[in-house]
Structure 1
Amino acid sequence: MALPTNYNMNKYLAVIFERDSEYISHPRDLVTSVPALEYVGQIGQLQDSHLYAIPLAVWDTFDMRQLETLRGIASVQIQEPKMRVKRGGDDL
């Protein structure tokens, strides 16, 4: 099941936690450390990877170092909307 996203309202960040991170068992606690975030959910079956939303109104002033310097975070990746391409009759 795909996670609900609204790219017209939010920017999305995939946060990958280190193996020994306290956030792996409590990913919602990251919102306490970085209040601009909203927890969206786990990414697939990857227990160390979680999706967070930041309202676009806050995005321009958001400092990524708030996340990147926290202990227990391996990486942060900005997610872009996936563009679907309609296939023409020749592609079938």
Structure 2
Amino acid sequence: MSTEAAQTHLEDALRLVQEALAAAGSGEWERVSELDVRCREVSKAMGDELQGYDPRPLLPGLVRLRERHRHLLALAEGHRDELARASRESRRGRQGARAYEDNT
């Protein structure tokens, strides 16, 4: 166990979150979810490797990972809002169609 192993896990986590960002950009939200789970697993393994070691050498990479996760979260929240808006519009459309049918 060492910071070298933790560095490898960090690099893997950065790669996975970058793939998740690309998938989000393509609207592949199921793939985003899969990559997010894997990234969390790798990040946990990184934390386990760092037990008893100084994490400061990994700080620049950890900051990049956090920034990319924040960006991914913003994209996911935007997608969620789009889905909620579409759902509301669909409900209004169905209500309007029923009202029309009831009045004909």
If the length of structure 1 is used for normalisation, what is the TM-score? 0.28
Q: Which has the higher helix share?
A: 2
State the structure with bigger RCO (CA 8 A, min sep 6), 1 or 2.
Answer: 1
Q: Which has the higher strand share?
A: 1
If the length of structure 2 is used for normalisation, what is the TM-score? 0.26
Larger radius of gyration: 2
